[in-house]
Amino acid sequence: MQTGIVLSNISDLYKVELNNIVYDCNARGKFKSNDISPVSGDIVDIDIINDEKKTGVITKIHDRKNYFKRPKMANLSQIILVVSMKMPKVDLELLDKQLIFAEYNHVKPIICLNKIDLENEEKIEYISNIYTQIGYKVIKTNAKEGIGVEELKKELQNNITAFSGNSGVGKSTLINNILETDITLEGEISNKNKRGKNTTTQVKLYKIDENSYVADTPGFSTFDVKEIDKKELAKYFIEFRPYLNKCEYGDCSHIKEEKCAVKEAVQQGKISKERYDRYCKLWNEYVSKY
């Protein structure tokens, strides 16, 4: 018996890495009957069946630090939220949703503003400042030219890191740069989309060095903020937190109430008006649910 990590899974085949060797594994039937099956990022015990052919069978899944359903992944320690400055156009609503998702799941988010070659510096700084002032790490990259990639790489040490963001923002290109290989050629799990571009369809983990892995994913974009209790939403806007217990009403929604500490902080410029507006928009989306 040996212990490795699941890199990828397609139907019944699991790629499990241990000591830098990748084994093709099946999972014992018992997992299915227990309604649990291995996913990328899982630490697993395997029995090696054939050392030459590098085949094995997964016998045990270790306890997970966390688990994500869409895409299926376990043991994530951080998420790089990739935002394209242009083509596709910058989507801060999606960024804020993903920040909520990360905070909710206690996974450290790092913001990556990519395609900085396509936007002027002023605009990039403006967006960057909104998020650095809150306390988030923001890294600016041009994945095509490899600019900013070293800074990004430093953050990946001793972590299992997923890259998330809309299709086309540059996740695979960034990972190519980090690995210094072309993952598409290496058998990235992708399909050509309607426009003939490669688009990632499955999670796959890549080893960058001992204890450091990056996951290319189709993005956590299907995440539904409504899974979070409406009353809890405000606390996932982390810069609101110092004000939340200072509102007049204990159950303040920070929308219509008169004496609201969050709204006062917005007026005083302590909370970004943009972020607050996006909070209101998200909050109002709940209305349609009930």
Ligand X SMILES: Nc1nc2c(ncn2[C@@H]2O[C@H](COP(=O)(O)OP(=O)(O)OP(=O)(O)O)[C@@H](O)[C@H]2O)c(=O)[nH]1
Distance, in Å, from the CA atom of 8 to the CA atom of 29, rounded to the nearest integer, reads: 18
Residue 67 is inside which H or E element, if any? strand 67-68
Q: Give yes or no for residue 167 binding ligand X (CB under 6 A).
A: yes
Scan for tokens 């409406």, then name that residue. 230
Q: List the one residue from 141, 142, 200, 272 that touches Mg ion (CB under 5 A).
A: 200
- Pick out residues in 146-175 that bind Zn ion (CB under 5 A): none
Q: Which is nearer to Zn ion, 174 or 260 (CB)?
A: 260
By CB under 6 A, residue 182 contacts ligand X: no
Give the total residue count for the chain: 290
Indicate which of Zn ion, Mg ion, ligand X, none lies near residue 142 (CB less than 5 to 8 Å, by partner kind).
Answer: ligand X
- Contact pattern from residue 60 through residue 99 relative to ligand X, giving x for each residue in contact according to CB under 6 A and a dash for the rest: ----------------------------------------
Using the 8-state DSSP alphabet, how is residue 168 labeled? T
Asked if 265 touches Zn ion (CB under 5 A), the answer is no
The item of Mg ion, ligand X, Zn ion, none sharing an interface with residue 117, based on CB under 5 to 8 Å by kind, is: ligand X
The Cα 270–Cα 105 span in angstroms is 26
Among 26, 159, 199, 212, binds ligand X (CB under 6 A): 199
How far, CA to CA in Å, does 239 sit from each of 116, 197, 275?
26, 38, 10
Taking contact as CB under 6 A, which single stretch among the options 90-98, 139-147, 258-266, 280-288 is the one that binds ligand X? 139-147
Rg (CA), the chain: 21
Query: Judged by CB under 5 A, does residue 172 bind Mg ion?
Result: yes
Alpha carbon distance 210, 220 (integer Å): 26
The reply to whether 217 sits near Mg ion by the rule CB under 5 A is: no
Element (H, E) at 265: helix 261-267
In angstroms, give the least distance from the CB of 72 to Mg ion. 17
Residue 277 neighbours by CB distance under 10 Å: 12
By CB under 5 A, the residues from 218 to 257 that bind Zn ion are: 247, 252, 254
Considering CB distances under 5 to 8 angstroms, the limit depending on partner class, which of Mg ion, ligand X, Zn ion, none binds residue 173? ligand X
Q: Kindly state the smallest distance separating residue 247's Cβ from Zn ion, in Å.
A: 3
Between CA 225 and CA 65 the distance in angstroms is 21
For ligand X, the closer CB: 26 or 167: 167
The CA–CA distances, whole Å, from 165 to 58, 59, 99, 106, 218 equal 31, 34, 11, 18, 8
Please check whether residue 14 is in contact with residue 2, taking contact to mean a CB–CB distance below 8 angstroms: no
Position 115 contacts ligand X (CB under 6 A): yes
Judged by beta carbon distances under 5 to 8 A according to partner kind, the member of ligand X, Zn ion, Mg ion, none in contact with residue 254 is Zn ion
Q: Does 118 bind ligand X (CB under 6 A)?
A: yes
Structure-token match 């972020």, residue found: 275
- By the criterion CB under 5 A, which residues form the site for Mg ion? 171-172, 200
